Every structure is written in structure tokens, then in C-alpha cells.
A = this chain, B = another copy of it.
């Protein structure tokens, strides 16, 4: 049984659209539309308990998960959404102990999620070119408690002479022009290793796939994930009126080797 203490992370949960992440600080209060929440009221309670605001509304004290950190990220840039992150984990068979390289740190949402799964033995190496974004990302990664499992570095992989990583299990690409880094990314992957690229447009998918084929990748799968929420209530169950729109398309592929096999060579020589 985990009790909430001063400095504990808490998700104050009222509803799907009204929830707040906070680090408990005994003298602070959270002022919201549903009333004032005094941090000190949470101290000593078990996660899952509820408080009542001065406007008589119940607020649950939930233990934040990676999902909550990602959904509450301060985005200086677009985040990668949980629906897409889930697909990435499932499609690549992401698991503890893996070595992951990420080109384009963005807001750090994908970095945090992937780190939360490969930790504690695995690691994420993430590279970006924009120091201002990197600062925001570092804050987000730290807040999610993943700082230890992530190494962030300013590096333009397109012009880098030597790859900083090799034999990675998975490479993540979150750039506007993902196809430009395919040859470099390939060098960092182990044989059969996976690449995932975040492609908000169809044009990016198309250019990327051309590049992946040229660079000897196989098992290529482009897709989009659509999450539809359902309101299940006695006698009136239906999908939500509010739709969840486009976030990004995702491309998956695995590194192969197209070199000629013995048999082929033999056949050619006999001709």
C-alpha cells in the first residue's frame, strides 16, 4: 500500500477532460473550475482515495502512469499519442533490455514511453538539432521519471561522419524528412532490427517507403491507428459523439541484407 507523501507525484482526476498532474507540496493549492484542492489534504492518503473540493466535487488521487505524463506534456512541439505509441510497442515487440536510437527527440513523449518499457536494462539514445526543443524534452522526460534511461545529445545525424550507436534493436525517426536519414539509421541497427517513422502526411510515407526499399529494408507496414471511445451506460451504449481525429501515420520496417546468395551467384555463373 503506497501512501502519498510530500513530493509524491499525483494525478488529480475529476473527469477525462479535467485532470491535473502535480508534485505534492504541502503548502500549495490547486485552483480549478471545480474548486480548490489543497495539496496537504492528499498527504497520508492511499493512491485511489478521493478528496472533496470546496465546491463539493470529488477528485481522485491517482498514481500517474507514463500515459498520464504523456497526455500532460508541455508541448513545444507535437506529441506522439498513446494510440500510436501502443502500436509501436506491439508491432516492434518492444521489451525490456533493448537498445533504442531516436532521431528527432521532439517533445520527449515517444522517448519517455519507449524508455519506460526498455528500462532498466535497456536504454534510449536520442538525438536532435534544436537545443530549445531539447530543453523542453529533457524536462518532460525527467518528469516521467525516465531521465536515467535516456541519453540525449545534440547531433545532426544527416551530416554525422560516425554513427554514435550500433546494433540497435529499434530506431525511431520523428523528422519532417525521415527518408533523408534512412542510410544513416541503417548503420545503427542490428540485422532484422526495426525502424519506426512518425509520418503525419501521406507524402512522407511514400518517400520514406521508396527509401526503405532502396536501403534494403523488408516487412514494411504503413498504417494508421484509430481510437474510438465508447460510452457504455445501461440501456444507452454508443460511441462518443466527439471524434478522435488524425494524429500521424506510422511506418514500420525491418533491416535486411539484399546481397546475393550463393545459389544466385551459382546460377549466374552457369549461364
B48 touches A255 (CB 8 A): yes
Asked whether any CB of chain B lies closer than 8 Å to the CB of A62, the reply is yes
B218 to A60, Cβ gap below 8 A?
yes
Query: Which residue of the partner chain B has the closest CB to A167?
Result: B1
Copies in the complex: 4
Closest to A149 in B: B96
Contact residue among B167, B193, B206, B243 (Cβ-Cβ distance under 8 Å from A244): B243
Residue of B92, B116, B226 near A225 (CB, 8 A) is B226
Given contacts A116-B93, A246-B240, contact A191 B1 (CB under 8 A): yes
Distance (Å) between the CB of A240 and the closest chain B CB?
Answer: 6
Main secondary structure of the interface of A (DSSP, over half): mixed
Query: Does any Cβ of B come within 8 Å of A239's Cβ?
Result: yes
CB distance from A34 to the nearest CB of B (A): 14
Is A238's CB under 8 angstroms from B200's CB? yes
Q: Which of A46, A194, A210, A219 has the most CB of B within 10 A?
A: A219
The distance from the CB of A8 to the nearest CB of chain B, in whole angstroms, is 11
Q: Is A131 an interface residue (CB 8 A)?
A: no
Name the contact of A224 in the complex, choosing from B219, B228, B237 (C-beta under 8 A): B228
CB A225 to nearest CB in B, in angstroms, measures 6
In the complex, what distance in Å separates the CA atom of A263 from the CA atom of B57?
11
A133 located at the interface, meaning its Cβ lies under 8 Å from any Cβ of chain B in the complex: no
Say yes or no: B90 contacts A85, CB within 8 Å: yes
Residues of B within 8 A of A242 (CB): 243, 245
A51 to B256, CA, bound (A): 11
B60, A237: Cβ atoms under 8 Å? no
Besides A66-B90, A210-B234, A222-B229, 10 more A-B contacts (Cβ < 8 Å) are: A50-B258, A50-B261, A61-B192, A62-B218, A65-B92, A67-B92, A83-B225, A223-B227, A224-B230, A240-B246
Can you give 15 A-B contacts (C-beta < 8 A)? A41-B263, A49-B257, A61-B192, A62-B218, A86-B88, A86-B91, A86-B225, A87-B227, A89-B117, A96-B119, A201-B236, A209-B232, A222-B232, A240-B246, A243-B245
